[in-house]
Amino acid sequence: MSVFKGAGVAIVTPMYDNEEVNYDKLGELLEEQIARGTDAIIICGTTGEASTLTHEEHLAVIKYAVEKVNHRVPVIAGTGSNATDTAIYLSTEAEKYGADALLLVTPYYNKATQKGLKLHFSKIAESVKLPIILYNVPSRTGCNLQPETIVWLAEHVENIVGVKEASGNISQVAKLMSLAKGNVELYSGNDDQIVPVMALGGSGVISVLSNVAPELSHDIATTYLEGDVKKSCELQLQAIELIDALFCEVNPIPVKTALNLMGKEVGPLRAPLCTMEAANEEKLRKALVNSGIAVK
């Protein structure tokens, strides 16, 4: 059974000017996302700047999101780490707080072998009862979770149920789904590949785009699920300019900048992330306007 179908938002973590987490603003964003049709909340992922949150902040943000959403849509907590014991700690705490599922990124920097990845994810999964979505994003982690490894994990570990695929390699995704034979829930990790991934059997997307255009992300996914492939493709292509602008610098620099341009006041980024180059910010502003999104 899918953790969710449609578009889940990889939500930003808003901050005050002093870089403390702005929980009031986070609450506003969560309410807006639910009101505008988002199908799931992914909290403390890459877009949520989890890598610069302390463990205490990380868990406090998860707890706040779970309580604020209050079962209206699934809350999927990012609890991955490059240290297996740390990932176990974050995962077990998130389970205590009532998260609906976990998102576990491949261990970054370590460059684990496929054998090591099986061990890493199995140990984490055994520590909790929650369904787990693996997260493959080799461009950020230096580690590619191979299709055979994903299928092995789904077959041998009961609560590993799916994968967020952000390798960008459609051939690899096709091989995965061929091997999986329906036993792996697939989510696009790239907003510009929602339709191609769903065409290979995907259930939806874990989306950065949803932060600024939740209806658009939702509609791309749900129109496909409803069988209107032509409309889904049209919406996907319509979104490309904005998606390109949201990734013209490393995520989440552009999306947080976009939300501030939209007047959402989500605050600064934590170092080593920094403000956008002026030319890229202008490109982003233009893409927002061209998409019918009001900016300051």
Tell me the two tokens of residue 92.
Answer: 């077990």
CA distance 6 to 215: 11
- CB of 9 closer than 8 Å to CB of 26: no
Cβ pair 108, 140 in contact under 8 A: yes
Q: Which of 25, 63, 68, 164 is catalytic?
A: 164
Nearest to 82 by CA among 101, 104, 63: 104
Distance CA 257, CA 24 (A): 19
State the Cα–Cα distance between residues 252 and 45, nearest whole angstrom. Answer: 10
Distance, in Å, from the CA atom of 64 to the CA atom of 76, rounded to the nearest integer, reads 13
97 is catalytic: no
Query: Which has the closest alpha carbon to 264: 5, 10, 22, 95?
Result: 22
- Find tokens 């080799």 and name the residue: 138
Query: Which entry of 25, 63, 68, 135 is annotated as an active-site residue?
Result: 135
164: annotated active-site residue: yes
Q: Which residues of 188-227 are buried (b: 16+ CB within 10 A; e: fewer)?
A: bbbbbbbbbbbbbbbbbbbbbbbbbbbebbbbbbbbbeee
Contacts of 56 (CB under 8 A, 6+ apart): none
Residues marked active site are found at 135, 164
